[in-house]
């Protein structure tokens, strides 16, 4: 891995792709050192494709983060998103946003991913 921040995301998920495309445009606009990797790069990250499809992963400063900590690291580097990183890191808000992502959003998106895979067969 490089010193650059890298984002591993599920490019087959329409919601994920829409969101990541917005981050990618922001990174390009501001010439940020952020790279975006599709699920087929998961093995190079030491993550199974299935685990990678279950949540957002970010490589930053030699560490792989997932879920809301990954979002916060990504947002903290983007001028228009720094506020989200700060707010979601606040003591009362962090556990709430993490619970919502971990228990509702990520599982819902992963189930939709599995449905897309089964329909493609």
pLDDT tens readout for residues 69-109 = 999 999 999 999 999 999 999 999 999 999 999 999 999 99
Q: Which domain holds residue 94?
A: 5-120
What pTM was estimated for this model as a whole?
0.92
Specify the pLDDT at position 2. Answer: 59
How far CA 38 is from CA of 6, 8, 56, 69, 98, in Å, comes to: 10, 6, 11, 19, 23
Q: Check residues 120 and 109 and name the one with the higher pLDDT.
A: 109
Domains identified in the chain, total number: 1
């Amino acid at each position: 891995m490089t010193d650059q921040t890298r984002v591993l995301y599920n490019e087959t998920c329409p919601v994920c792709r829409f969101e990541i495309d917005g981050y990618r445009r922001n990174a390009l606009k501001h010439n940020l050192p952020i790279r975006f990797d599709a699920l087929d790069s998961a093995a190079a990250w030491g993550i199974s494709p299935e685990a990678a499809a279950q949540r957002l992963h970010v490589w930053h400063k030699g560490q792989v983060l997932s879920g809301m900590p990954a979002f916060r690291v990504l947002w903290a580097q983007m001028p228009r998103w720094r506020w989200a990183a700060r707010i979601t890191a606040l003591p009362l808000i962090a556990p709430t946003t993490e619970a919502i992502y971990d228990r509702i959003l990520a599982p819902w998106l992963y189930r939709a991913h599995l449905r897309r895979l089964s329909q493609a067969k």
